[in-house]
């Protein structure tokens, strides 16, 4: 039987991916609604306006754990900054893989520094570094697998952020950064696109 928490996380990511699909819709009302939802999710980063993101996230049935709710809000805001999901991969790719693609494009020490900041164990600074990273990836049209990112951040921003599970997440980010897959979105695919064109609420 599927883990109910995993099912809820997957449903949330499916909702976010549905917003991306709606942005590309030929239906102007659907596209406008998606833009509005994404704008409200971006307000999770704006002091005094976070309540606009709360309504969207809490309608997606997050768990009662406050640390995970904060992570759902963060991932929703990150997605709204850069709604380009990673398609066509046989397995979910970490944020390290996205940065690896970016490094293949730019060949810049700045990308190495960005990874170093993300791998540090400073839980307070991580959300800030994530926002900067997502903006950088957005500027160069590098996709992110937000389902994998949510799972990873539940660990990295959770109560055991210095434990073995968190160490394994950081190791995987580093591994996928230094052993990057193709710089295009489909060359590493052995299965169809995972685009999820769900209707927005």
Domain hosting residue 52, numbered range: 1-64
Same domain, 5 and 38: yes
Same domain, 106 and 175: yes
- What pLDDT score was predicted for residue 89? 67
Q: Name which residue leads in pLDDT, 192 or 175.
A: 175
- What pLDDT score was predicted for residue 41? 97
Q: Name which residue leads in pLDDT, 188 or 154.
A: 154
Same domain, 138 and 94: yes
Q: C-alpha distances in angstroms, 68 versus 62, 190, 196?
A: 8, 32, 23
Q: Is the pLDDT of residue 185 over 80?
A: no
Same domain, 105 and 17: no
Same domain, 10 and 102: no
């Amino acid at each position: 039987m599927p883990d109910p928490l995993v099912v809820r996380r997957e449903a949330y990511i499916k909702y976010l991916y549905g917003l991306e699909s709606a942005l590309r819709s030929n239906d102007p009302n659907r596209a406008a609604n998606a833009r509005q939802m994404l704008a409200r999710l971006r307000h999770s980063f704006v002091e005094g306006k976070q309540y606009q993101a709360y309504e969207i996230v809490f309608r997606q049935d997050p768990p009662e754990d406050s640390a995970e709710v904060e992570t759902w809000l963060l991932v929703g805001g990150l997605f709204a900054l850069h709604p380009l999901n990673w398609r066509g991969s046989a397995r979910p790719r970490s944020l390290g893989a996205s940065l690896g693609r970016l490094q293949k494009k730019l060949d810049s020490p700045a990308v190495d520094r960005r990874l170093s900041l993300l791998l540090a164990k400073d839980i307070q600074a991580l959300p800030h570094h994530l926002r900067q990273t997502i903006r950088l990836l957005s500027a160069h049209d590098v996709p992110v697998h937000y389902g994998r990112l949510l799972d990873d951040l539940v660990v990295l921003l959770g109560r055991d952020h210095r434990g073995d599970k968190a160490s394994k997440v950081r190791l995987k980010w580093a591994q996928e950064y230094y052993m990057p897959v193709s710089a295009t979105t489909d060359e590493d695919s052995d299965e169809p696109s995972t685009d999820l064109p769900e209707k927005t609420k």
